[in-house]
Amino acid sequence: MTSRWTTAVLDTDQPGGWAVARSPEGFLFDDNGALFPREWLKRQDLSILAEHGIGHLDGEPVYLLELRSHSDVPGCNWKGLRAFMLEGDHTVYKVLGYAAQIGTWAREHRFCGNCGQAMIQVPRERAMYCEPCDLRSYPRISPSMIVLVTRGDEVLLARSPRFVTGVYSTLAGFAEPGESAEDCLIREVREEVQIEVKNIQYMGSQCWPFPHSMMLGFHAEYAGGEIVCQEDEIEDAQWFNVHELPPLPASRSIARYLIDVYVARRLGHAEPVLPG
């Protein structure tokens, strides 16, 4: 099956195509969704910071208008990326997730980190460039480990104070310089719940554009220790039986996938597929 959405660096001098508009309030949308005819969108009263050609959807070019601030467009509203993930068409969410990462990166790399001068968008390459330093900045991706710790019929799930009331999820955290994926996973589980793990098994990965994580998902078995929650980060953590699970994270998240796969295996059900 060919993908409906492919990323590309497109020349912004070419006319036509679709465009999405992103402001600090989220993406612009109307009854037809978040993709607008580009020429129409550029005629609206928008405070455009930069334009990026980001790819092709069903063969049609797609552009991002990154805005300084939101403005009123008749018949339209603004909505954050998370809402599109939860409610929307998965392909459109992928387009917007990519647009958000490119917009964030380009916005935060307008000036050279070495000399402080203005950087320029490199034609035909996804890079910002400082000529005096001959320095290129590429989109930033932050590797994060996410792990379901298991003990037979039980799984270890935890709550952050930021979660929706009642929801428990897998443990996660960002890789630090000098660490392998496994080092990071072991450290994060130790820091957050003081549990030791063994038999770490890679399960799959997911782009998580909030704002630029690359989630690497694992299962790991319990090897020792008693749960002690990390102050401020973990509000509660418990062993839950696969027959008595609490409210879980959104179905498109890799956190949910890691839980669903393990539960399916224990109960002999068909395994779910990780959303791309």
- CB-neighbour burial class of residue 40 (10 A; exposed 0-12, middle 13-18, buried 19+): exposed
Comparing CA positions, the residue from 61, 75, 81, 87 lying closest to residue 8 is 61
Other CB atoms within 10 A of residue 245 CB: 13
Q: Which CB, 72 or 87, lies closer to ligand NAD?
A: 87
Find which of Mg ion, Zn ion, ligand NAD, none residue 254 binds, CB within 5 to 8 Å per kind. Answer: ligand NAD
Nearest to 99 by CA among 50, 30, 142: 50
Sort 232 into a burial class: Cβ within 10 Å, 0-12 / 13-18 / 19+: exposed
Q: Which does 130 bind (CB under 5 to 8 A by kind): ligand NAD, Mg ion, Zn ion, none?
A: Zn ion
148-167 binders of Zn ion (CB under 5 A): none
Give the interface segment with ligand NAD, choosing from 100-108, 168-176, 221-229, 268-276 (CB under 6 A).
168-176
- In order, the DSSP letters of 41-93 are HHHS---EEEEEEEEEETTEEEEEEEESS----TT-EEE-HHHHHHHS-HHHH
186 binds, among Mg ion, ligand NAD, Zn ion, none (CB under 5 to 8 A by kind): none
Q: Counting contacts by CB under 6 A, is residue 101 touching ligand NAD? A: no
Q: How far is the CB of 119 from Zn ion (least distance, A)?
A: 7
In 3-state terms, the chain is what percent helix, strand and coil (to 5)? 20, 35, 40
CA gap 183, 178 in Å, rounded: 9
Question: In 76-226, at which residue ranges do the beta strands (DSSP E only) sit?
Answer: 77-79, 120-121, 128-130, 135-137, 142-151, 154-159, 171-174, 196-208, 213-224
Least separation, in Å, of the C-beta of 126 and Zn ion? 19
Binding span for Zn ion by CB under 5 A among 12-20, 122-130, 146-154, 199-207: 122-130
The least distance separating ligand NAD from the CB of residue 258, rounded to whole angstroms, comes to: 8
Which element (helix H / strand E) includes 33? none
Parallel, antiparallel, or unpaired: how do β-strands 236-241 and 154-159 relate?
Answer: antiparallel
Contact 128, 120 (CB under 8 A): yes
Cβ 11 to ligand NAD shortest distance, Å: 31
Residue span binding ligand NAD (CB under 6 A) among the ranges 20-28, 94-102, 119-127, 140-148 = 140-148
Min CB(80)–ligand NAD separation in Å: 14
Q: What's the min distance (Å) between Cβ of 81 and Mg ion?
A: 20
Query: Contacts with Mg ion in 172-201 (CB under 5 A)?
Result: 172-173
Structure tokens at 161: 């104070």
Lay out the site mask for ligand NAD across 196-225 (x = CB under 6 A, - = otherwise). Answer: ----------x-x-x--x-x----------
By CB under 6 A, how many residues form the interface with ligand NAD? 17
CA nearest to 266, candidates 244, 250, 246, 247: 244
Closer to Mg ion at the Cβ: 64 or 157? 157
Binding site for Zn ion (CB under 5 A): 112, 114-115, 130, 133
Give the footprint of ligand NAD on this chain (CB under 6 A): 142, 144, 146, 160, 169, 172-174, 206, 208, 210, 213, 215, 249, 253-255
List contacts with Mg ion (CB under 5 A). Answer: 172-173
